[in-house]
Every structure is written in structure tokens, then in C-alpha cells.
């Protein structure tokens, strides 16, 4: 799927851009929006055209529920019933496609039954466009909105192709007004050049760095899933490889989406802000999958009571939020356990917050990163048994020697790990590189504060930058033959 998606983007992006600006300037902005909708639906159907019916049904039903909420917003009891019905529809859709097989498997295990159903295929992006629409319905009810958006604007908001595979989760208040902005169809050379360079850099991160680590991590995790016992060094190579794979995979996709969208003069939310530089798990969740963290905060944690009902209730709310956040990532007990562990660690983070007088920034960063490496094992493992096996190998210190280190750890792996570490821990992120330019919507205040501390942007409209970006883009294109799927498209 991934290679086909790249082929689509690289082959049709010039046509898409030229068509967008030509149609917009000849026939008007609304026709340009129709063009983007058609382009997005073609992009979505590239993987499986049958799910076009599903996403269009989802859009139509949610728009109808939204219209009903608006119509009855002065009669709160009726509006609430419409909201509840909309939530049941969205969560029911997600439960069927994403969790029904998981539910049947657990019923068979618990009751020793042998219920067989056909394997339900998970539609690409369903978690993202479902949560996107849930936030839309909740906001209409909360804010007593009395006027709905145009159907075409709402449809584009949901199916907009840069976010469709792996996010971010969009918010209607940030996105839809941009589609009606008078400058949408005005070609902006600055946006185009920055967007193109962002796309090239992100493509390099994905296919050259992430996919290299994928080639190391996948066989080792697969071997563990099949019952093989990894050695000490193999288990650490597997866990570190996946740590960098998911970083550069998700970072690469998020920044590709920002670059693509910027070429169409549309800003989407930042979803990734140097998370491995975090000094605590709380900060990590302000920097990793930012749009999901924000959704869980605004539409789950705060409605549960947030921190308004005392310390104990706050800690309970954190745990519930992270458990459901883990389940959102996939229908497996590994994801639930991963979310639960993060919830417990965040509870401890909040419980002892402010009690430690002396803080060593470097040590905080090391401890946080060490925890992250370990929790990614659960996230990636095929089963809880496989995860336990890998953890056992990681902390089994018998038989360690220089000879086994030389035999089991390739030199090129060490080089790539060093290269990935430099980018992850020391180099500026894209928002710091392009400081002073609007390239994305940054939502968390601490990320905005970090950006403000950056002295100046690093990007220059120069031949040197063009050469570097062009070289990395060429390397990425030449590496695409062995490209693997985006990790987050299956969530």
C-alpha cells in the first residue's frame, strides 16, 4: 500500500496542484474545493475502493446528526439525544471494524467456545476520521452552534488526503475556515517551496531511516513471536531499532502531511515536536501524537472531571484516559497494557510533581527515554508472552561478552543509531528550522514556549539548501523500492 501511495503522490501531486490553482482561478474557489475532495477520494480508494462507501456514509450520517444538533440546540434534551445517537453511530462503527474480531477471540478464550466469523478488514484511517467527526459533534452541542458548515467544506474537512492515512486528528474550527479563506487559491511561492522541502526531508526520514530500522526490528520481533529466545544484544537491538523506527516513521508521515498541505495553502495541526527530547512522560505526551493527546484531553479526560475533583480522581481519570488511548491504537492486550503502564507512570508523575526540589535536566531526559524504549517493546510485540520473553532477554546479563557484541551488532547499525540519535536529540525540529513561517498549527503552550526560545530559523531560500534537500530527496526516491507501510495507517 505504501509504495502505491507514494506513486500516487509523486505522480499526481503536480497534476493535483496545477488543477487546484487553475480550476480555482478560472471557475472559483468552491470548484477548487470540489477538486480537492475528488483528489482525496481517489487517494483513499487507491488502497481499497470499496471503503469509499463507508467513509462517505460516515460523513453523510455525521453531517446529518450535526444538522439535527444545531436545529434542536435551543431544546437541550433533544440536542443531547441527537449527540448520543451520533456518538453511538461513530463508536459502533469503530467497534465493529476495529474490535469485533478481538471481542470474539476473547469470548472464545474465556468460555472455551469455537465461534468463527469472517475476518473483518480494518479500513484505512477509520480511527482518525471517526475521532475527527466525534469532536465535531461534541463541539456543536457544547458550544450551542446555530449554523452548520457547507456540506462540501465539511466533506473536505473529513477526507482531506494529507491526514487521511495516519492523522493528525483534525479539528473543524481550525480547518474549515481555511477552506473559505480568500487566499486559498492564490499560488504562494513561499508556501510551495517550504512545503516541497518539508515533504522531501520527511520522505528521507521515512524511507531511508525508518525503513532501515524496520528491516532490523521486524525479523527479531517476528522470531520472538514464533517462540525463539533472543540473546541479550538481539533484544536490545530489537527494542532500540523499533524505538527509532516508529520515531522516524511517524515523524516522517506527520511532516510529509504538513508539507503536502502547505502546498495547498492549508495548515494542519503539528503532531510531533521532538518527543525524545522530553524530560518527563507528561512532556512526552505533549510532543508525541499531539492531536490524539489533545483529543483525549478535551473529549475524555476533562469530561471525566480532569483535575477538578481532587487528586485521587485526577489520577483515576489519567489511568482511564491512557487505557482507552492504548486501546485506540489497536485491538490487542499489548496495546491496552501499554496504555495502562503509561497511565500508571503518568499518575506517579503527577503525584510527585513539584515535590522534587533538585532536578537534573540531562538525567531526567535519560530516564524518560529509557522508559520509552522499554514501553515500545509492549507496543510492538505480537503478544504479551512475546513481550515478556524480550524483556527477560533484555535483563538477562549472563553470557555477555565483547565477542558476542561484535558478532551480533553490525557496524552499520551502530552508524545508523548514532545518525538517528543526533537527529532525535540534538538537531532542531521542523518548527525550529522554519521559525517565523506559518507551517502548522501548534497547540500545546509548552511547545510554543520552546519554539519561542529558538533564536532564529535555520532555513534559507538558497542554492545550498536546495542542493541538500534535492540530494536527500533523490536518496529517498532511490530507496523507495523496499519501502514498508506506515506504522500508524493500521491504527
Query: Which listed residue (286, 289, 329, 342) is catalytic?
Result: 329
- Contact assessment for residue 269 and residue 131, using Cβ atoms and an 8 Å cutoff: no
329 is catalytic: yes
Give the separation between CA 366 and CA 346, rounded to whole angstroms.
17
Task: Report residue 125 as a C-alpha cell.
Answer: 484511517
- Contact assessment for residue 129 and residue 159, using Cβ atoms and an 8 Å cutoff: yes
Query: Which active-site residues does the annotation give?
Result: 329
Amino acid at each position: 500500500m505504501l509504495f502505491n501511495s507514494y506513486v500516487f503522490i509523486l505522480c499526481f501531486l503536480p497534476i493535483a496542484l496545477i488543477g487546484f490553482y487553475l480550476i480555482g482561478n478560472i471557475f472559483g474557489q468552491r470548484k477548487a474545493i470540489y477538486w480537492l475532495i475528488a483528489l482525496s477520494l481517489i487517494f483513499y480508494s487507491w488502497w481499497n475502493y470499496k471503503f469509499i462507501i463507508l467513509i462517505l456514509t460516515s460523513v453523510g450520517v455525521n453531517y446529518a446528526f450535526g444538522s439535527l444538533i444545531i436545529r434542536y440546540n435551543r431544546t437541550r434534551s433533544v440536542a443531547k439525544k441527537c449527540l448520543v445517537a451520533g456518538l453511538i453511530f461513530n463508536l459502533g462503527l469503530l467497534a465493529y471494524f476495529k474490535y469485533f474480531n478481538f471481542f470474539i477471540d476473547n469470548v472464545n478464550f474465556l468460555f472455551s467456545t469455537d465461534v468463527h466469523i469472517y475476518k473483518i478488514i480494518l479500513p484505512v484511517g477509520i480511527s482518525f476520521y471517526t475521532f475527527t467527526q466525534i469532536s465535531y459533534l461534541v463541539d456543536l452541542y457544547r458550544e450551542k452552534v446555530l449554523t452548520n458548515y457547507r456540506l462540501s467544506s465539511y466533506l473536505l474537512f473529513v477526507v482531506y488526503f494529507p491526514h487521511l492515512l495516519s492523522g493528525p486528528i483534525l479539528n473543524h474550527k481550525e480547518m474549515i475556515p481555511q477552506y473559505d479563506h480568500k487566499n486559498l487559491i492564490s499560488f504562494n511561492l513561499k508556501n510551495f517551496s517550504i512545503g516541497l522541502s518539508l515533504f522531501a526531508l520527511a520522505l528521507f526520514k521515512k524511507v531511508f531511516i525508518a525503513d532501515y530500522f524496520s528491516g532490523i526490528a521486524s525479523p527479531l520481533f517476528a522470531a520472538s513471536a514464533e517462540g525463539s529466545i533472543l540473546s541479550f544484544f538481539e533484544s536490545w537491538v530489537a527494542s532500540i531499532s523499533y524505538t527509532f523506527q516508529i520515531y522516524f516513521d511517524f515523524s516522517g508521515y506527520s511532516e510529509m502531511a504538513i508539507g503536502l498541505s502547505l502546498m495547498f495553502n492549508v495548515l494542519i495541526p503539528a503532531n510531533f515536536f521532538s518527543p525524545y527530547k522530553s524530560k518527563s512522560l507528561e512532556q512526552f505526551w505533549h510532543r508525541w501524537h499531539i492531536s490524539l493527546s489533545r483529543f483525549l484531553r478535551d473529549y475524555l479526560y476533562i469530561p471525566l472531571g480532569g483535575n477538578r475533583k481532587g487528586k485521587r480522581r485526577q489520577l483515576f481519570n489519567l489511568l482511564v484516559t491512557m487505557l482507552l488511548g492504548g486501546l485506540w491504537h489497536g485491538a490487542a492486550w499489548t496495546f491496552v497494557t501499554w496504555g495502562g503502564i503509561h497511565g500508571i507512570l503518568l499518575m506517579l508523575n503527577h503525584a510527585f510533581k513539584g515535590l522534587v526540589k533538585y532536578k537534573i535536566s540531562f538525567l531526567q531526559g535519560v530516564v524518560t527515554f529509557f522508559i520509552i524504549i522499554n514501553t515500545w517493546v509492549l507496543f510492538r510485540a505480537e503478544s504479551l508472552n512475546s513481550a515478556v520473553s524480550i524483556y527477560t532477554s533484555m535483563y538477562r546479563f549472563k553470557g555477555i561478552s565483547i565477542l558476542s557484541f561484535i558478532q551480533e551488532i553490525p557496524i552499520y547499525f551502530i552508524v545508523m543509531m548514532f545518525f538517528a540519535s543526533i537527529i532525535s536529540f540534538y538537531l532542531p525540529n521542523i518548527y525550529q528550522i522554519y521559525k517565523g513561517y506559518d507551517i502548522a498549527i501548534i497547540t500545546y503552550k509548552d511547545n510554543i514556549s520552546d519554539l519561542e526560545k529558538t533564536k532564529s530559523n535555520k532555513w534559507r531560500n538558497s542554492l545550498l539548501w536546495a542542493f541538500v534537500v534535492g540530494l536527500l530527496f533523490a536518496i529517498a526516491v532511490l530507496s523507495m523500492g523496499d519501502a514498508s507501510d506506515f506504522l500508524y495507517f493500521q491504527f
